[in-house]
Amino acid sequence: MDTSGKVLYLAELFTFTLRDGTILRYTTYGIDIVYDGNTYIHAPIVRTPHTQDTDLSVGETQITFPRVSPWTDPERLLSRYLDNAQVNILWLDRSLHSNKRVVFTGDTGEVSYNQVTVLATFKNLMNLFHKKVPRRKYSEGCNHRMYDTLCKLVRAVYEKTGTVESGSTKTAIIDSARVEADKYFDLGILECTSGQNNGEKRWIKNYTVGRIDIFVDLPYTPTISDTYKITPHCRKTYISCSGDYSNELNYGGFQDIPDPMEAAI
């Protein structure tokens, strides 16, 4: 950017690229700016001076912006919607658009918020050198979360429903219609769908045919005819993945790597 011999009408342009591909463009200039075919909306954004060193230390800047957009609503913030977002900050001469400079490019670090504003820390690309490689852990057990995009199993396919029978307690559900093999639902999720416990979810401690034991007490003793739904949990082993779910093609572990405890013997 040439700054010699003239008065600069400097605008700072922010381009945010969210993890779902959404691109947001803002400027701290007093009016909206059209640059390179895109409109940058005026917004009261404040940022700290960014740090940049000649060594491999990570530079960063903190950006504060108001919670006035749909992407800053509580539900999205709680779901960590801003994780893995990228920001590109450009200085632009309003009188000569070819006179410009990218002053910062980085990824989201920490995000905090209150009722009025969101504060996001962005770290520059040097942060890539501080990430652990490889990201995947090479082990016998599966690295995927059950039902995620890598596992590819569909939760609704394996979710079962049932009805509470007599003899149930705050820590155990009795249902003679549950005929799946023992331990099939171990560490799965039980969700009450009617009665006083409606909406309550619990981890399953132990499952045997006709009985579901949970880790934490329900608030109320279930009554006969209360309903529930139940989903199994993967044991993270190749035998479980292939035998229980026929999903060996998407297994995220390496079954030929020995278990550390067995290898030590």
Whether the full predicted model's pTM is greater than 0.75, yes or no, is no
* Half-sphere exposure of residue 209: CA atoms within 13 angstroms, side-chain side: 3
Asked whether the beta carbons of 192 and 198 are under 8 A apart, the reply is yes
Mean predicted confidence (pLDDT) in 83-89: 86
More confident residue, 80 or 252: 252
pLDDT digits (tens, 9 = 90+) for 41-59: 988 888 888 766 666 667 7
Domains of the chain: 10-130 (2.30.110), 155-233 (2.40.10)
pLDDT digits (tens, 9 = 90+) for 161-207: 999 999 999 999 999 999 999 999 998 999 999 999 999 999 999 99
* Half-sphere exposure of residue 244: CA atoms within 13 angstroms, side-chain side: 22
